[in-house]
Amino acid sequence: MTDTARFERADFQTDQEVRWCPGCGDYTILATVQNYLAALGADREKHVFISGIGCSSRFPYYMNTYGMHSIHGRAPAVASGVAAANPDLTVWVVTGDGDALSIGGNHLIHALRRNINIKILMFNNQIYGLTKGQYSPTSEVGKRTKSSPFGSLDYPFNPVSLALGAEATFVARTIDMDRKHSAEIIDAAYRHEGAAFVEIYQNCNVFNDKAFAILTGREEREDNRIYLEHGKPIVFGKNGEHGVVIGPTGARIVDVASVGIDAVQVHDATQAEPEVAFALSRLAHGPSGPTPIGVFRAVVRPSYNRLMQEQLAEAQAQKGPGDLKALLRSGGSWTTN
């Protein structure tokens, strides 16, 4: 049994200066991940952090594990190759809303669809931070930025809805400042077989400060955080006075006293079909009101990695060891004039 006390956070820190803006939410996420891995106790050599381009993508520099800072939007593709080549590794993708949902959108949805065994942590600050404040695929309509001085005309993605639509087997959301909740979600993602997608609301205090104040403000958060807990009624508020019901038109918020606790939806993250999880993901957009956080969906489906290994073993049993030279000289070529 692994001695989980053998690591401290410092064991997962590097000698690189952490270079984010003072007060950035990325610092909190970094500390949460480092503390979680230290408590987990798995060898540092068993973890690989792959990133794309953006503020969040500095992450591999600060993790004393294997890692790669790849190119814009391509982190899921690089991570897929790493995970397929060495199934014994835990492969983490660290990305942002611009990196993952703009140039990297196709790579993201297909990694989720294939259920490749990678853990995707998407920092969503609803802005392009590294390139100094342009609107991103998750910025709200009307967002005034350097690239949209009269207000953005683009309708934003809802990342959780997008992941569910891509048939992801694990989809969750958390908040940078809630370190306990973030650690619980990261642990659930780590233990899931297959692709795990975690949206992390992350404050950019320079270009989009207080974008999530409704969920982080001391006065606002109790009335706006809807914690999704498997097997429990979905209630929220200081005294659990509000709840969520699912009807023909989707999810809606009610006063528990007016409908009774039996009418409130009991959360089941393991439902085979994603309709209820999708309805929950549509309760808030932005966020712009009471917003669900937690695990929306966690279903069992064989990972691409496991299926690939089984297929290779079957092929070897039927055909014997492969011959790369024979394959290259197999005549699959032609001559043109």
Could you write out the DSSP letters of every residue in 262-300? GGSPBP-TT-SSSHHHHHHHTS-SSS-SSEEEEEEEE--
Nearest to 109 by CA among 137, 135, 134, 67: 137
List pLDDT tens digits, range 290-337.
Answer: 999 999 999 999 999 999 999 999 988 988 888 888 888 887 677 777
Of 5-14, 214-223, 271-280, the range with the highest mean pLDDT is 271-280
Domains of the chain: 9-211+302-306 (3.40.50.970)
d(CA 158, CA 138): 7
**Predicted model pTM:** 0.94
Token pair recorded at residue 48 = 């690989």
d(CA 55, CA 176): 14
Q: How many CB atoms within 10 Å of residue 273?
A: 9
d(CA 258, CA 226): 19
Say what the alpha-carbon torsion angle 109, 112, 117, 122 is, to the nearest 10 degrees. Answer: 70
> Is 1 a residue whose pLDDT tops 50?
no
List pLDDT tens digits, range 181-213.
Answer: 999 999 999 999 999 999 999 999 999 999 999
Burial class of residue 130 (count of CB atoms within 10 Å of its CB; 0-12, 13-18, 19+): middle
Question: Region 7-28: what's the mean pLDDT?
Answer: 96
